[in-house]
Amino acid sequence: MIPIPEDFHLRASVMLEDETLVNRDFKVLKSFENPQWSLHWLNLSQLYKASAQHTKSAQVQALKKQCAALAISCYPALSDNQRAANYEKLKETYRTLCEQEGYPVQYSTFHHEALNVPFIYREAALTSPKKGIIIIIRGLDSFKEVRYWNENELLANGFHIVSVDFPGMGENPVAMNKNSEEVFNSLINHLNHQLKWDLPIICWGLGFGGYWAQKMGSMETFKLAGAINQGGPIHYGFKPRISRILFNWSEIQFLSKMIFESLHQKTAVRVFISQLSLLKQGILHQPQCPILYINGDNDKTASTKEIDLLRHEKIQKKLISGAGHLAIDRLDDQVLPEILSWLKVITDSDQTKSNHQVNVDYG
C-alpha cells in the first residue's frame, strides 16, 4: 500500500483545522488504500454534524469540518462505491455550507470533445462592484468542492468563482494530455456564451493545475487578465538528489499513480512529463498577461529552483518562508492577502479593462 503523502498531512490539517487529529488518524490508517479509510472519515463527518451548535456561525464551522472530513474520505480519487457515495454526501453538504454563507453554489456542465464536464460557480456579492471571474483549476488529487481558504473574501470583493476538477480526476471525464489547456478554453467559451459575464478572467491553478494556469497565461489564445500558479511545476528539468528521492518516495509513488490515473492509463508517466516544460516549449518567457507564482520555500513536491527561471516584468513571484507545498499552511495570513492585493492591481489597471475580452469560438 502507498503511504499517505506528507503533503496531504498538511492539507488535511488545514482543511480540518486540527493537526493533532490528522496526524493521529493518519498514523493509525497508514494508507489511503486502507479498506477502512472512507468509512473512518465518513464517521468523523457525522460526529461533526451531531456536535453542531445552534448558532449560525457554529453551524457554518461544523459544515466546513463535515466537508473537510468527507473530502478526505474520497481521497485521492473516486475508485470504489464507498468513496463515490461519500462524494455525493460531500456535494450535498458543500451546497448547504455555501447557502449558509450567503453565496449559494450552482452546479452546471460545459461541453468538451462531446463530453459533459461538471463545474461549479458562486456569484460575487450583489452589493460589490464586479471585478472579475476567477477560474480555479484543482490539482491532481483534489475536488472542486475542497475548501482550503475562505472563498467569502473573494466573493465579497467582487469576484465570481468558478471551480473545475483536474482533467481525468474527480468528475472531469476528459483524460489529461499535453494540450489540456483546451479543456479550460471550452469552459471559458461556455462562461462567455451562457453566463454572459463580461468581465476579466483570471485562471488560478493549484499544484499541477498551476502549471496549466501559467501555460494559459503564456499563450495568446486566451487573453486572460491574469494567471496564478500556486505551487505548480513549470520546467520539470531539475533532477533531485538521491537523498531527496528516498526521503520523498511516498510522494513520488503517489504523484506517479495520480498522473497515470488522470491520463486514463493511456500514456507512460515518464513520457508525458518529458513533454511539459514551458521552457522547452518556448513560452515560459513570453507571458501574455500578469502572472503570479506563489509557493512555499519548503515544498517537497515541486522544485523551488523553478522560481529562478521566472525573469519577466509581468511575472511576480513569491516564496513563503517556512511553508510547504502550495504554501497551504500560510494561506490565511500570507497567501490570500498577497493574492487579493495582486488581483486588485491587475483588475484595476487600464490595460486589463481594455484587453479582458476572451477569444471566443462558438463554432
pLDDT in tens, 173-212: 999 999 999 999 999 999 999 888 889 999 999 999 999 9
pLDDT in tens, 51-73: 888 898 999 999 999 999 999 99
Among 80, 101, 122, residue at a domain's last position: 101
What global pTM score does this model have?
Answer: 0.92
Q: What are phi and psi of 210, to 5 degrees?
A: -65, -35
What is the 8-class DSSP label of residue 4? P
Does residue 167 have a cis bond before it (omega within 30 degrees)?
A: no
Among 51, 82, 101, residue at a domain's last position: 101
Q: Is the dihedral of CA 50, 54, 58, 59 positive or negative?
A: positive
Contacts of 245 (CB under 8 A, 6+ apart): 252
What phi-psi label fits residue 20: left (phi over 0), alpha (psi between -120 and 50 degrees) or beta? alpha
Q: Is 360 a domain residue?
A: no
Return d(Cα 53, Cα 49) in angstroms, integer. Answer: 9
Report how many domains make up the chain.
2
- Asked whether 110 and 186 are in contact (CB, 8 A), the reply is yes
Same domain? For 71 and 87 the reply is yes
Same domain? For 214 and 316 the reply is yes
Contacts of 58 (CB under 8 A, 6+ apart): 52
Q: What is the chain's pLDDT, residue by residue, as a tens digit (363 residues)?
A: 888 888 899 999 999 999 999 999 999 999 999 999 999 999 999 999 998 888 989 999 999 999 999 999 998 888 889 999 999 999 999 999 999 999 999 999 999 999 999 999 999 999 889 999 999 999 998 899 999 999 999 999 999 999 999 999 999 999 999 999 999 999 999 999 988 888 999 999 999 999 999 999 999 999 999 999 999 999 876 555 544 554 567 777 888 889 999 999 888 998 999 999 999 999 999 999 999 999 999 887 777 788 889 999 999 999 999 998 899 999 888 999 999 999 999 998 744 454 444 433 322
Same domain? For 93 and 110 the reply is no
